[in-house]
Amino acid sequence: MSPLPQNLLNLLPMAGHTRGNRDAMTCHFKCGDACAQAVCNTSSNSYFRDIANSALSRRAALGLGGVAAAVVVVGPQIAHAPSASADFGGFGKGGGKLPFNAIDPVERTVDTVSVPDGYDWAPIIRWGDPLFNDSPEFDAQHQTAAAQEKQFGYNNDYLNIIADGGNGRTGVLVCNHEYTNEYMMFDPQWQAENEDEARRIAWAAHGFSVVELTRKKAGQKWEYVRGGQRNRRITATTPFRLDGPAAGSELVKTVADPEGMTVLGTNNNCAGGTTPWGTIVSGEENFNQYFQGRGTAEEARYGIGTGAPSRGWEKLDPRFSAQNEGYENEVNRFGYIVEIDPQDPTSTPVKHTAIGRFKHEGANINIAADGRVVVYSGDDERFDYVYKFISKGKYREGDKAHNMTLLSEGDLYVARFSETSAAEIDGSGTVPADGAFDGGGEWLPLVKNGTSRVDGMSVAEVLVYTRLAADQVGATKMDRPEDVEPSPLTGKLYIALTNNSNRGASGYAGADEANPVNGNRDGHVIELTESGSDAAALTFNWNILLVAGDPAVSSSTYFSGYPAEKVSPISCPDNLAFDSRGNLWISTDGAPGKIGYCDAIHKVTLTGDERGRVEQFLAVPAGAEACGPVIHDRENSVFVAVQHPGEGGTYDQPYSLFPDFKDSRESAGLGEFYGPRPSVVQVFSTRGNNGVGFKKRAEKAKSLPRT
Ligand code: FEO
Ligand code: CA
Ligand code: CA
């Protein structure tokens, strides 16, 4: 059943294929209808499942060497682990432990942030809030590109809240703005008459925001500072320096940038990470949807079609169509990990070609035993891969200028997983007789010591056409790798695989032990331990931490042996985070269409008797996705970027009134804008000092019937 009302179904050409998953508008605007397109990976890549007698498979089956099975490595503290704080965000002096009783799953039409007893929530900043002293106030009915460039962008995704230290009363909020939904942002009549200005507004609503924060006391609620010295907007037109081995190559030159060194803008940045040296790295994900291609094989592997994209940006700037002479390579300048320095608003953001070009979900960093920096990144597409980059240079504590060169040069690898119970994997999700979905694996080199390890491809070709390079070496086809994040406490890596309905379908790769569910609807999470607990190791062991779903209705769920009847239902794991005690936190994207509940943030215990226990902490409003969770458990706070609240609605007919719940829904026509505004929210404890002075918002809960 589509969540769209019939009048919209009649009006909107792309509304027909929700595939029982996300809202159709999310599919369209966020991913460019990726799930409705053909699978990009048509390679005959004979990954491990196809190499029945390979040495790797035999070694794995025998439990030998670096691909041994089920080794529980209780690793030492990772070398140079920068801090115990999740994502290096920093904590104040609070002594909180974030105690809570799991909430029940929330029906998908409930339009509020649902939190446990003893907690409340409030927005810190909303789409359109003014960042600078001369920024216009938000006025959706009279929005301009010039205003949007000085206001908080749309659809916040990756998030970090970084305290400055000292008295704990100042800090900075950094987040990216993945995409825009013009149906919800604009009065349709106005948009029809002002197409170019609407596109310029969309450019200005993409990118990043950096915003200073203040609070009365460490542990209390943050407020954003209008006019803060570090406040900054980065948009779809901000100059980026292209960096690394592919920068300046023929593959990235255009008529507007004959040197191939400067790219305007960043688009569709999804998840990300904060580096030990304090910069933000973020992934350009579904960048393909902004471009019109020429029909080359390389474009096809990235999902770039030849039709005119619905956003029509190529009508305003020729670089968005590769069919325009001189701009054939513009699309090769997107799909990278970008790095920005939130402490220096004058710094030039960078795109790192050394980490490869694909639909990067995000990037997260660990430091190897010898000090080299390791970047993990997933390629969020059905049957695509998990990668890691190992820097040539070494991390130097306190030397930010040096550390900001580390992502420019190094080795790039892609993961191949092997199995211990291959013969038992039938796609049903039944746990094998050895008690685990598990195995070994290796990181296969694509670029090493400055040379290509892929036949027939130069270093620049490997870094620009990374998917095609990984196809050649036999990487394992995964179920949409989202966040790939190492625990700051153990260095173990967690890989969120959000779903893949095509797994096992006719003509596609079938289930394997690392992706054990055919038609994988709800996704799963892999736990990976690098050999010797060293992030620079080239072999690893892995096991599945959980196979998601609602245990009440799904027979394929798995929670590392924890009783399924005691967990919160969970579906479509996406962003990952850790608290200071090493618990894993998972946010979801797409749960409403799968299990009928609002997207959520869950805590997952990783150790002890309760390993595998999933407890739901919050739910986001109707139509929204829970993004960028930041867990400051010592301060009893959780931060969430509420993305696309009310998606599926329109400017005239909103499906959500979050976060302000202006009650002018009954007013006809285009009165005061009352639709939803994507916002960053702080959830805080109302026990003790933390909650002093905050208005209880629970009574604002509303349920908007979807007609
Ligand atoms: Fe933008 Fe992979 O989610
Ligand atoms: Ca097994
Ligand atoms: Ca995501």
Q: What is the DSSP string of 117-162?
A: TTEEEEEEEETT-B-STTPPPP-GGG--HHHHTTB--SSEEEEEEE
Across the range 277-294, mean pLDDT stands at 98
Alpha-carbon span 498 to 423, nearest angstrom: 25
Residues of the chain with pLDDT > 90, as a percent, come to 80
For residue 49, what pLDDT band results from cuts at 50, 70 and 90? low
Ramachandran angles phi, psi of 523, nearest 5° = 85, 175
* Beta strands 350-352; 239-243: pairing state: parallel
Alpha-carbon span 211 to 223, nearest angstrom: 10
Could you tell me if the CB of 285 is within 6 A of ligand 1? yes
| Ligand 1 atom closest to Cα of residue 378 | 2
Q: Take residue 457 and report the two structure tokens written for it.
A: 């491809």
Residue by residue, DSSP assigns 340-354 as E-TT-TTSPPEEEGG
Going by C-alpha positions, the residue among 507, 547, 510 that lies closest to residue 527 is 547
Residues 6+ apart with CB under 8 A from 266: 206, 207, 208, 234, 236, 238, 240, 282, 284, 334, 338, 349, 351
Tell me how many degrees the CA angle 585-363-492 measures, rounded to the nearest 5. 55
**Which pLDDT value is given to residue 35?**
85
pLDDT at residue 195 above 80?
A: yes
8 or 361, higher pLDDT: 361
pLDDT at residue 127 above 80?
A: yes
Q: Rounded to the nearest whole angstrom, what is the distance from the C-alpha of residue 380 to the centroid of ligand 1?
A: 6
Could you tell me if the CB of 380 is within 6 A of ligand 1? yes
pLDDT at residue 211 above 80?
A: yes
Bridge partners of 544, per DSSP, are 526
pLDDT at residue 63 above 90?
A: no
441 secondary structure, DSSP code: E
Could you tell me if the CB of 482 is within 6 A of ligand 1? yes
Rounded alpha-carbon distances, angstroms, from residue 349 to 143, 195, 242, 265, 465: 27, 29, 9, 9, 22
Residue whose CA lies nearest to ligand 1 atom number 1:
270
Q: Which residues are close to ligand 2, an ion, with C-beta < 5 A?
A: 420-421, 432, 434, 436, 438
Shortest-distance ligand to the CA of residue 439 = 2
Alpha-carbon span 544 to 146, nearest angstrom: 48
Q: Rounded to the nearest whole angstrom, what is the distance from the C-alpha of residue 580 to the centroid of ligand 1?
A: 25
Residues 6+ apart with CB under 8 A from 410: 354, 372, 373, 389, 390, 391, 392, 393
| Ligand 1 atom closest to Cα of residue 268 | 1
Shortest-distance ligand to the CA of residue 432 = 2
Q: Rounded to the nearest whole angstrom, what is the distance from the C-alpha of residue 446 to the centroid of ligand 2?
A: 28
pLDDT at residue 84 above 50?
A: no
Tell me how many degrees the CA angle 38-39-45 measures, rounded to the nearest 5. 140
Q: Rounded to the nearest whole angstrom, what is the distance from the C-alpha of residue 239 to the centroid of ligand 1?
A: 24
Could you tell me if the CB of 284 is within 6 A of ligand 1? no
Alpha-carbon span 369 to 10, nearest angstrom: 59
Q: Rounded to the nearest whole angstrom, what is the distance from the C-alpha of residue 456 to the centroid of ligand 2?
A: 36
339 or 4, higher pLDDT: 339
- Whole-angstrom Cα Rg for the chain: 23
| Ligand 1 atom closest to Cα of residue 482 | 2
Whole-number average pLDDT of the chain: 88
Shortest-distance ligand to the CA of residue 516 = 2
| Ligand 1 atom closest to Cα of residue 270 | 1
Alpha-carbon span 179 to 175, nearest angstrom: 13
pLDDT at residue 573 above 70?
A: yes
| Ligand 1 atom closest to Cα of residue 380 | 2
Q: Rounded to the nearest whole angstrom, what is the distance from the C-alpha of residue 640 to the centroid of ligand 3?
A: 13
Alpha-carbon span 23 to 591, nearest angstrom: 10
**Which pLDDT value is given to residue 25?**
87
Shortest-distance ligand to the CA of residue 272 = 3
| Ligand 1 atom closest to Cα of residue 157 | 1
**Which pLDDT value is given to residue 64?**
32
Q: Rounded to the nearest whole angstrom, what is the distance from the C-alpha of residue 95 to the centroid of ligand 3?
A: 31
pLDDT at residue 567 above 70?
A: yes
pLDDT, one tens digit per residue, over 355-376 is 999 999 999 999 999 999 999 9
By three-state DSSP, how is residue 107 classified? strand
pLDDT, one tens digit per residue, over 661-688 is 876 555 434 456 778 999 999 999 998 6
Q: Take residue 580 and report the two structure tokens written for it.
A: 């200071």
| Ligand 1 atom closest to Cα of residue 589 | 3
Could you tell me if the CB of 625 is within 6 A of ligand 1? no
Across the range 624-628, mean pLDDT stands at 97
Q: How many CB atoms lie within 10 A of CB 555?
A: 10
pTM of this structure: 0.90
Residues 6+ apart with CB under 8 A from 443: 388, 413, 414, 415, 416, 537, 538, 539, 540
**Which pLDDT value is given to residue 672?**
64
pLDDT at residue 494 above 90?
A: yes
Ramachandran angles phi, psi of 527, nearest 5° = -110, 125
| Ligand 1 atom closest to Cα of residue 285 | 1
Could you tell me if the CB of 204 is within 6 A of ligand 1? no
**Which pLDDT value is given to residue 87?**
38
61 or 258, higher pLDDT: 258
Shortest-distance ligand to the CA of residue 361 = 1
Shortest-distance ligand to the CA of residue 425 = 2
Alpha-carbon span 561 to 547, nearest angstrom: 11
Hey, CA dihedral for 468, 471, 473, 475, is it positive or negative?
Answer: positive
Bridge partners of 633, per DSSP, are none
Residue by residue, DSSP assigns 212-277 as EEE-SSTTS--EE-TT-TT-EEE-TTSEEEEESTTTTSGGG--SS-TTS-EEE----EEEEEE-TT
Q: Rounded to the nearest whole angstrom, what is the distance from the C-alpha of residue 542 to the centroid of ligand 2?
A: 10
Alpha-carbon span 673 to 658, nearest angstrom: 12
Could you tell me if the CB of 270 is within 6 A of ligand 1? yes
Q: Rounded to the nearest whole angstrom, what is the distance from the C-alpha of residue 422 to the centroid of ligand 2?
A: 8
Q: Rounded to the nearest whole angstrom, what is the distance from the C-alpha of residue 424 to the centroid of ligand 2?
A: 9
Q: Rounded to the nearest whole angstrom, what is the distance from the C-alpha of residue 271 to the centroid of ligand 3?
A: 5
Alpha-carbon span 411 to 391, nearest angstrom: 6
**Which pLDDT value is given to residue 687?**
80
| Ligand 1 atom closest to Cα of residue 31 | 1
Alpha-carbon span 665 to 649, nearest angstrom: 13
